[in-house]
Amino acid sequence: MKASVITASRRAAEGVYEDTGGPLIVDALTDLGFEVTGPVVVPDGQPVADAIAEAVDGGARAVVTTGGTGLTPSDLTPEMTRPFLDREVPGLAEAIRSYGAAQ
């Protein structure tokens, strides 16, 4: 199954710092048997939706996004992702954040 990883980060897209989370997700998906493209690093906001559309048009059956979930006006990853969902899983994002906070 084809998958794509998209990192939403203005500063990583500008080269201020390296995307470290995206490559970890690529490795994990590859280990699970996915054929993965990415990580694609884009600024927050509309570029996230554009990258998701490109991934889906390219045949990705799963798209994993990371980043862009802060509180600034441009942190819109959930809003940019929602139109592409076949099904929303309430509570999943909270469980992921809780797990990460405990690490």
Token pair 């694609």 in the structure block, residue: 40
- What is residue 77's DSSP assignment? H
Backbone torsions φ then ψ of 38, nearest 5 degrees: 105, -170
Structural domain for 52, as ranges: 2-102
- What SS3 class is residue 20? coil
Domain count of the fold of the chain: 1
Q: Could you report the per-residue pLDDT of 46-103, keeping only the tens digit for each? A: 999 999 999 999 999 999 999 887 788 888 888 899 999 988 888 887 888 788 788 8
CATH of the domain at 55: 3.40.980.10
Q: Of residues 5 and 96, which shows the higher confidence score?
A: 5
Average pLDDT score over residue span 5-14: 96
**What's the predicted TM-score (pTM) here?**
0.88
